[in-house]
Structure 1
Amino acid sequence: MEKKNIKFHIIKLINILYKIYRLFYLRKKVIKLRKIINNYNYRYYILNNSNILDYQYDKLLTQLIKLEHLYPYLKNKNSPTQLVGAKVKSYILQKKKKHKIPMLSLNNVFNENNLFKKFFSPINKRINSSSFCCELKFDGIAINLLYKNGYLVSAITRGDGNIGENIIKNVLQIKNIPHILKGKNLPNILEVRGEIFITKKKFKLLNQKKLNQNKLFSNTRSATLGILKLNKNINKKIFNLLNFFSYGIGFTNKNFFLNQQEILKKLQYYGIPICKHTKVYSSYYEIINFYKYFKKKRYFLPYNIDGIVIKINNIKKQNIFGCTNHAPKWAIAYKFPSQEKLTSLKKVIFQIGRTGILTPIANFHTVNINGVNINFATLYNINEIKRLNLKIGDKIIIQRCGDVIPKVTNVVINEKCTRKRKNILIPKRCPSCNSILNKKKNNILYCTSELFCKAQLKAYLKHFISRNAMNISFIGEKLIDKLVDKNLIKNSVDLLNLNNFVLSKIENLGNKSIEKILKCLKKKHKVTFNRFLFSLGIPEVGIVTSNIISFFFKTLEDFLNTNLIKLQNITNIGEKTALNILNYIKKKHNINIIQNLLKKIDIIYTNNISKKNFFYQKKIVITGRFKFITRYNLVNQLRILGAIINNNISKKTNILILGIKPSSKLLKATKFNIKIINENKIIYLLNQISNFEKY
């Protein structure tokens, strides 16, 4: 009984210590997040030198908001979630000035699901029906113009929301900002809120003529802020490049407005410019259509916009919802997808991949997206060409998906464009081997020549030497291209049998490189069964499927003698994959290749130990960096042992492997009470598995 009590108290103590550790860790993470976000705010609002994308910044801010919401004791009045922008540094100000009413920022959403969840749903719970004013969100610099008795007396930047920089001397040079208001019955005090921006045409002129002391600006926002911060000795004509639109008011001594639409009309009556593209809707679907319309239309607007702003139209209802320290609850910015550019299609190139599928590649005039020059993007298959109704000469929108892969997302049809559109000619023969292309049920074209087609052979050999397959060093993709083009190798066996005589025929390949290649190929390669299966390049058999198959069959011989019923009995192996495997192993040419490969390769079978180990069939997620083991080796070893590696935490996850600087996966794992193992523990467990080797 005493032993049970001791055990209970030990477990209780461990739980308390873990909670203390977690609190300490979370506090440390929150402090670090605040520091990072404040630094980005300072660079963006004050230095005009942002080094982070909008969606990346929003991701960090959302992470901080979630942490502060889950753990309220971590909240702080100086947190970026409670403030707007960045504190204005006195040494860069012409003059500090306080806003009469705080100049708040806007909360952002990037998809329809979050728009409804974060904005419309809370409103619908409190208000049965309401109309909304939809406006464009300009990509410029927010400004607060203060008029006293109709005269412009100050122009203050947003700053930290309470105090901004008074740049009245430069703002007075902007042509469409009135110095004196028009009309009758003017308020004694009126704060006019709006955006200063530069049009696309004038931005181009600015950079072409290098009006700003030979400085080139990267985008319209940086150009706008750069001009506004110029000293008084500069040529005043440069300020003529700037424009202004108002989107509302701050403080006024005559608060007689009933709704947002009325405010905009009154501002226009006073002589203040407003954007004509403003609509009031009561239907959610009309608002979504407004967003979709300008998502396409924005490329033809004279200025840059990065989304729309949705506001409750009624002022009384706005007051009911109020504001946080950061943003109003009655308005939200629904932003367009980031990383998009408009260009024109020059031509479409057709390529044959490893499995023989014909892939169209769009070649367009170079665009720079976030510092990267792009002129090619995959179109996936001919169905995509038809879906987009794509033609040569079309204006197209290029997006970098996930900040990496370029994609053609849309075709922009301009009725005023007189340039002729040319049809894209779909090839009937393989562009590599000239054999007739076959068509699958889904209209996808493919070459049936397999490794007799040089394009397929090159792609396959690159797959064969890759890290997840044979992991052969010193043989690069360019060398493979040269060897295939010169007809020096025709399969993977030829690659492993390379000799000095063959390699000496390759231009610009030195003796030292040849020595390294031959030394690598001379030793017999040891490879696990799953990686050997993956290296064969069987259609539909990727890394995960190779692992599954390697656990089902004890030897390669068992695998080669399989049938359709056995294959379909394997978990997660469908009919299509099973037929592809059977089609591969029935061909004598493929069997001959495998038999010859076995002369150069030793297959390591791990299925005998897999079912007896701690990791077998465990769903595992990895987060953070490691000191003593690479993530690649860790994943590879765990898969050999039968573990299922997932990218995201769920309630079904069994283990989280924790490294240095973990992501939010740690919080989710803690929430779901998932077992957490650190690097030392994982290495210890791997070493405990008998006969285990690192391959």
Structure 2
Amino acid sequence: MEIKQQIESLRKELREHNHNYYVLDKPTISDYDFDMKLKELQDLESKHPEFHDPNSPTLRVGGMVTKNFETVSHDQRMYSLDNSYSKEDLEDWEKRIQRVLGDVEVEFTCELKYDGASISLSYEEGQLIRAVTRGDGFQGDNVTTNIKTINSVPLQLKGDYPPKFDIRGEIVLPFEGFAKMNAERVANGEEPYMNPRNTASGSLKLQDSAAVAKRPLDCLLYGIVGENTGITTQWQMLDKARDWGFKVPTVAKLCKTTDEVMEFVEYWDVHRHDLPYETDGVVIKVNSLQQQDELGHTSKSPRWAMAYKFKAEQVCTVLNEITYQVGRTGAITPVANLEPVLLAGTTVKRASLHNADQIAKFDIREGDTVFVEKGGEIIPKIIGVDFSKRPQNSKPTKYINHCPECHTELVRTEGDAKHYCTNFYGCPVQITGRIQHYISRKAMDIEGMGSETVTLLFQEGLITNYADLYTLTKEQVTPLERMAEKSAENLVNGVVESVKIPFERVMFALGIRFVGETVAKKLAKAYKNIDALMDASEEELVAVDEIGERIAKSVVEFFQNDANREIVARLKSYGVQFELSAEKLENQTEKLKGLIFVVSGVFEKVSRNELKKLIEDNGGKVGSSVSSKTSYLVAGDKMGPSKRTKAETLGVQIISEDDFLEMV
């Protein structure tokens, strides 16, 4: 047999054995025979590098070292899910669905919600080309080299797969493998890992892929995104994904009513403990992809999916002390410092008390025995006090009057739940907090610098605001504690590189109160450059889409301050981007200004996402559902009947793809 054919035949055979063992759990060959065939392939590949394949089964052993994980934008955003905790929540969700879809039959798929690290896998022509962590939903880390070591991730698909698509899922660590890892750590005199979820998540960012290969990670897939996949329902999607070689859990149910959904939820709330993986709830999705399209998304979550969270684990412990944290905006957050207690797989020592009203509501005091649970099994919170165990000498909590950092008297405005330190430009924690926000990943993403480094630089008098970062030299930074020459060089280079960050993220990085990522993008797009924005009045700002009075007032106050204007001027002089790039400005017009479009169906000449981008690039707004404010409904093939009916009822003009393209 010709060498190339021999190599390809071995690769195909090993892929099939791999799939049978790790995905189907039905091995058809002994481990020894598999290892012998793998060794044969390794020998052939090493002798014939001209037949290299980046997705060969031999590469699953890892060995590549990744120093810095590249940040990659998701082709389609990875949304988070809204949570529900009762049948009433689900019924309210179903009513909202029916209001949008009208009187049509709706089916639901129920799948278990596996507790791991979210991942997006990209395939082209059946080959794995990229694996990206969820990150902030818009962009994540490229961890392809590490993901290729996970045996249940197919490197080459089989069957009638689409030419290009992404598939989303969870990287999990089965209980059995986790226990084995910890037994080995303890035997070696090392600390055991706390829980499978955090260990799985941390594994994805290990620099040596050979170390990842040694961990018994698994990958469970649940959702495909892409154009023209030929799939019409979520249930069909699960079946197709299995056919193509993905490991898709078989625990799923197609339901017609919320009663059937609750039967599934109640069964698995009890039986989840029999599963090999951690689960924390059930995900319920509208089955029809056409109906999903009609329902659309909010700014954070799909309207067509809901997570039903199993009842959170609850424990009792003693509240030793209440301390107070100051945020970068001056907001004060009381913190409960607890007697350490194990909760849902992690040791909890602290919990947020939110504000003075929360403390008063539960009458929480130091020395109390409190009930603690994890909200959504992520953030610990105090949900009550065991008054039978309250010490006799207990005294009511007296909320602080002055900032714990700079001793400025606190202010609480009417209607605001939090107290604030108003020493915005003098309170050390607020100063360092703003700089820490500026360097953060979603903002300027400065490599080589973390929160502790910022605090150290401030304490040493090297920086007092984020503009000072651009004057730092390697010679100034190297003598600092725990700062080697290479680290200092990386820090300074990271600051230099940050001038490439686009204007909309710079806007977010400035840390203006109430200006989050979405608002920053809206302002950057509306004003194009910082000078126009700095001169805008409250009235002009309120006219911008989704900018309310509170945001407008905060923006105007920020730029009225001479210190802030001086910092912006300095940042400009260092080359920080304070206007939209030529690329972003190209093809942007105001042709559709003031018009709201709803897009539905499948299109021929451009994809739905490209169509939405055209609307926004030309000054229009994309609406998620048809209302009296909708200017046009752009109707593609297979558009849902309820959207058409609603548009006709409200007198909204329905246009075709060609009609729209003519408009722009």
TM-score range, shorter chain: 0.3 to 0.5
TM-score with structure 1 setting the length: 0.45
Which structure has the greater CA radius of gyration?
1
Structure with the greater relative contact order (CA < 8 A, sep ≥ 6): 1 or 2? Answer: 2
Report the TM-score when normalising by structure 2: 0.47
